Amino acid sequence: MNDNQNELLQKAIAELKNSPTVDIKGKSYTQVSTRINIFRKYFPTASIETLITYNDDVRVIIQTKISLNDKVIATGYAEEVRGDGNYINQTSAVENCETSSIGRALSNLGLGGSEYASANELENALAQQEQIKQNNNQRTTNQQTYQPQRQTNQKQQYQHQNDFTNLINSGLQVIDNGDVLIVSGDGIFEKKSIIKNAGFRWDGQNRIWYMQKREAA
């Protein structure tokens, strides 16, 4: 990396230090989705490529390469065992492994967040947080019966659906979520090849396929 790129990287690292974190057993962990967004803010032309190097009924291994101007600047590997006492790996081992691999590559670049948290620690913590959210949502629903439905209806389809003909023809739709486009519909895992070919990336933490809106222009 040249001096200008190193300066941008230091700015990204500084911003990451002030980003929201998840507290897991006293450790502070920055989610991969947050690190990706910060990285792309400072390096919009960089590429993050993932490759499945091993995949069978037991385990999956994925390599990630981060490139800038056709030069690899960081790599990362991750391995996940299917159904390894882990709900995520029972249903989405590949997606989980890809997210972990990207996270390790970003860490090797310097965008590692704070302390390391294992996949199981992170999953359990997020599951507990999700349960708290569900309990809070239930209380809100009891007070305002139809509020969640109104929020759902506020989602808007991306106005240029014809830009994603293959997705639409496969029964999916593209949702406009502000600065980000999100794929919605049934079978988003079975149709992941179509979604990837359309330029969307998997966010394993939030379990969505997304694309920055500016990339669709």
Answer whether 0.75 is exceeded by the pTM: no
153/100 Cα distance (integer angstroms) = 33
Which of these, 140, 127, 77, lies nearest to 106 by C-alpha position? 77
pLDDT tens per residue, range 16-56: 988 888 776 667 778 888 899 999 999 999 999 999 999 98
Identify which of 66-75, 135-144, 152-161, 187-196 has the greatest average pLDDT.
66-75
Helix axes 93-109, 32-42, angle to 10 degrees: 50
Burial of 19 (0-12, 13-18, 19+ CB in 10 A): middle
Q: Which residue has the higher pLDDT, 63 or 157?
A: 63
